[in-house]
């Protein structure tokens, strides 16, 4: 891992226990915390006091919640590297997750790459699962896929399309806008089975909805954010249908060959695959 020039950043807003679990999993699997930049978006719990105990590469404390786009940009710029890993704080990492992800990207000529995911409650042995899955599915690659739970971005991407939209009111729409620019520039992306994360599932987004009196089904961001894409309803609809169909093809092929796919969910103490 020392030969890979990388930096990691995530934003956090309260939910200190999830941040603690995330960092602990990094330490467990050999991540040098000096490569990690954490941006705290005005937490009011014990997040700040916890972060101040860590030997981080940098820690940025915003006075209020400026949103993911601003925070991700702050983190990416605070510690610049050939590869910048942008991720959630409600995840657990696994053995070899960075090396396997970035080496796959370099071998395949990708400029953005995401790991495989299991989402939901941690009611299984993730380390044992991930170690076996990373070996069994090391050659599985979903070309064109990516997700905002975790993505490694090559420095050339910043130079070509810029960073995330620094607009606080986007409230979660930043990744959609960024991926729209990625697609317009035809930047090659992928999702690899050589690297795995456990994702508890939009913990911060759920907490922010509760703060605002919203239900889980309601969107957190402004309902007309989609207008910023400058796409017709039909264009967005056709893209969504195409994406759903492609995911079904990937899942079917992976299940047939491996008995699992690159995106799993924990439901009723078992896996379901997507």
- How does DSSP assign 169-225, residue by residue? GGTT-HHHHHHHHHHHTT--EEEEEEEEEEE---HHHHHHHHHTT--TTS-SS-TTG
So what's the pLDDT on residue 3? 82
Phi-psi region of 120 (alpha: psi -120 to 50; beta: other; left: phi over 0): left
- Cβ atoms within 10 Å of 157's Cβ, excluding its own: 20
Q: Can you give the pLDDT at residue 257?
A: 97
CA 196 to mean position of chain CA atoms: 11
d(C-alpha 31, C-alpha 2), whole Å: 10
Q: Return the structure tokens found at 155.
A: 């420095």
Taking 90 as the threshold, does the pLDDT of residue 173 lie above it? no
Structure tokens at 174: 């930043």
Q: Based on DSSP, count helices (H) and strands (E) in the chain, helices before strands.
A: 9, 11
27 pLDDT exceeds 80? yes
Is the CB of residue 197 less than 8 Å from the CB of residue 101? no
Question: pLDDT for 109-150, tens place per residue?
Answer: 999 999 999 999 999 999 999 999 999 999 999 999 999 999
Buried b (16+ CB within 10 A) or exposed e, 219-242: ebbeeebeeeeeeeeeeeeeeeee
For 119, phi then psi, to 5°, come to -120, 145
Which pLDDT does position 236 carry in this prediction? 85
Cβ–Cβ < 8 Å for 85, 155: no
The CATH code for residues 6-273 is 3.90.550.10
SS3 (DSSP) at 234: helix
Are 144 and 266 spatial neighbours (Cβ–Cβ below 8 Å)?
no
- Residue 180, pLDDT > 80, answer yes
State the Cα–Cα distance between residues 139 and 103, nearest whole angstrom. Answer: 12
Residue pair 254/243 in contact (Cβ under 8 Å)? The answer is no
Query: Around 8, how many Cα atoms within 13 Å sit in the side-chain half-sphere?
Result: 21
Place of tokens 């249908």: 241
Contacts of 5 (CB under 8 A, 6+ apart): 81, 82, 83
pLDDT number for residue 210: 59
pLDDT of residue 59: 97
pTM listed for this prediction:
0.92
Please state, as a whole number, how many other Cβ atoms lie within 10 Å of the Cβ of residue 30.
Answer: 12
């Amino acid at each position: 891992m020392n030969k890979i020039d990388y930096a990691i950043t995530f934003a956090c807003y309260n939910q200190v226990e999830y941040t603690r679990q995330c960092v602990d999993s990094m330490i467990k699997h050999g991540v040098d915390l000096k490569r990690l930049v954490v941006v705290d978006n005005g937490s009011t719990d014990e997040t700040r006091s916890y972060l101040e105990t860590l030997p981080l590469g940098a820690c940025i404390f915003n006075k209020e919640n400026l949103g993911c786009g601003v925070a991700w940009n702050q983190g990416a710029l605070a510690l610049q590297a050939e590869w910048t890993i942008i991720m959630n704080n409600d995840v657990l990492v696994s053995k070899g997750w960075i090396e396997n992800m970035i080496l796959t990207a370099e071998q395949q000529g990708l400029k953005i790459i995401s790991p495989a995911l299991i989402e939901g409650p941690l009611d299984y042995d993730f380390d044992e699962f991930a170690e076996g899955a990373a070996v069994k599915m090391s050659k599985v690659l979903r070309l064109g896929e990516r997700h905002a739970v975790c993505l490694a971005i090559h420095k050339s991407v910043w130079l070509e399309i810029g960073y995330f939209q620094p607009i606080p009111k986007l409230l979660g729409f930043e990744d959609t806008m960024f991926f729209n620019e990625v697609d317009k520039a035809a930047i090659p992306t992928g999702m690899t089975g050589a690297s795995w994360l456990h994702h508890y599932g939009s913990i911060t987004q759920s907490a922010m909805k509760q703060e605002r009196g919203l239900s889980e089904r309601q969107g957190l961001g402004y309902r007309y954010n989609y207008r910023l894409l400058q796409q017709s309803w039909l264009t967005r609809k056709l893209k969504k249908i195409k994406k759903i169909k492609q995911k079904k093809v990937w899942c079917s092929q992976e299940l047939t060959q491996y008995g699992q796919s690159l995106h799993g969910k924990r439901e009723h103490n078992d896996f379901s695959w997507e």
